[in-house]
Amino acid sequence: MSTRTARRVIVGCLVALVLILLPVKIYPVLALDILLWGLFAVSIDLLLGFGGLLSFGQAAFWGSGGYTAAVLATRLHVAFPLAVLGSLIFVLALALPIGYLSIRTRGIYFAMVTLAFAEMVFYVVNEWRPVTGGENGLQGIPRLFPGLDLNNPLVYYYAALPLVIVGYAAAYRIMHSPFGHVLVAIRDNEARAQALGYATPRYKLLAFVLSAALAGVAGGIHTIAHGSAGLDLVHWTTSGTAVIMTILGGIGTLWGSVLGAALVLLLQDWLSTTTRLTDATGIVTGALFVAIVLGLRRGIWGSVSLWLKRGKAPQQPEALTPAPAGPQPAGVVAAEQP
């Protein structure tokens, strides 16, 4: 076994151990929220970090997936995994036309167009009261699975964990595949990628749809976990929160998004339960965001990774530079010329 393979096996075992013990160290609902919001942030990082596309409409897919799973479980009594699968299918169908129109724009215009589509989804969810419940939302969403009592939060965590792992594995495979490398090339220089023969609009559309799929699956699992679906799922502030998580962890790092999600959620939980400063959560989170952006330009994960790479890099001996012509100041010795 090579050193690289052994390292991957060790890292995989450590990650599995953390996932198994996480709901034991913190309560299961928060543990699952960290993984789901992390997957949501990863979906944004797929667009922003690898495709160079900043979307403020990602909540449309997170919320649509959540409402789809809620309707399937509440009205049709569909089992939990099938409800999440229904979320995936619906979000794919929704993301295709939105992505087809959105990728025709760039930069801030792309962000504004995605935000506009998200507001349209918010309006539909709010007005379609017979299905979505409008402002009241959907309550009492059952957790159905033959042979298992998913009402126990710990049992639901372990039941949802395989789906979450599949989502992360899909994100990792996408970002480390030839497709992911082409996305990075498009982000760095789209004109050059087109000159090399790549149909860049197709790649960006596929990245948009895959990103929406990850967000939709995470939203479906999250809604069933909490037993309710409200308008906050499709509100633009939900997209903003996920963008903050991505930037805090590090854009283009994949796992940094999970770290950013854990930091924000644990901070919110600590402020609301230990210090009773529920109203000050936004102020503290905002101050932390400003501090990290100013002090760690690449985010937490990105900055730490850069420091580790610099520490492992061999030190190069300083090259001798010839002394300038003319008289030298006192105390300066010119280097010998070869």
Confidence check: pLDDT of 2 > 50:
yes
pLDDT in tens, 155-196: 999 999 999 999 999 999 999 899 999 999 999 999 999 999
Q: How far is residue 318 from each of residues 76, 95, 257, 307, 324, measured CA to CA in Å?
A: 72, 54, 38, 21, 17
Confidence check: pLDDT of 75 > 60:
yes
Q: SS in 3 state form for the chain?
A: CCHHHHHHHHHHHHHHHHHHHHHHHCCHHHHHHHHHHHHHHHHHHHHHHHHCCCCCCCHHHHHHHHHHHHHHHHHCCCCHHHHHHHHHHHHHHHHHHHHHHHCCCCHHHHHHHHHHHHHHHHHHHHHCHHHHCHHHCEECCCCCCCCCCCCCHHHHHHHHHHHHHHHHHHHHHHHCCHHHHHHHHHHHCHHHHHHCCCCHHHHHHHHHHHHHHHHHHHHHHHHHHHCEECHHHHCHHHHHHHHHHHHHHCCCCCHHHHHHHHHHHHHHHHHHHCCCCHHHHHHHHHHHHHHHHHHCCCHHHHHHHHHHHHHHCCCCCCCCCCCCCCCCCCCCCCCCCC
Mean pLDDT of 219-231: 94
Question: What percentage of the chain carries pLDDT values higher than 90?
Answer: 56
Cα separation, 70 vs 231, whole angstroms: 13
pLDDT in tens, 256-280: 889 999 999 988 888 777 666 656 6
* Lowest model confidence (mean pLDDT) among 174-178, 215-219, 227-231, 319-323: 319-323
Confidence check: pLDDT of 117 > 60:
yes
Mean pLDDT of 115-124: 95
Mean pLDDT of 12-36: 89
Cα separation, 86 vs 148, whole angstroms: 20
Give one word for 326, left, alpha or beta, with left for phi > 0 and alpha for psi -120 to 50. Answer: left
Mean pLDDT of 199-221: 95
The DSSP bridge partners found for residue 228 are 139
Band of residue 321 on the pLDDT scale cut at 50, 70, 90: very low
Residues 201-229, buried b or exposed e (16+ Cβ, 10 A)? eebbbbbbbbbbbbbbbbbbbbbbbbbbb
Query: In this structure, which amino acid lies at residue 303?
Result: S
Confidence check: pLDDT of 249 > 60:
yes
Mean pLDDT of 226-238: 92
* Lowest model confidence (mean pLDDT) among 16-20, 186-190, 306-310: 306-310
Across the chain, what does the average pLDDT equal?
A: 85
For the entire predicted model, the pTM comes to 0.86
Phi, psi angles (nearest 5°) of residue 42:
-60, -40
Cα separation, 262 vs 275, whole angstroms: 18
pLDDT in tens, 82-107: 999 999 999 999 999 999 999 999 88
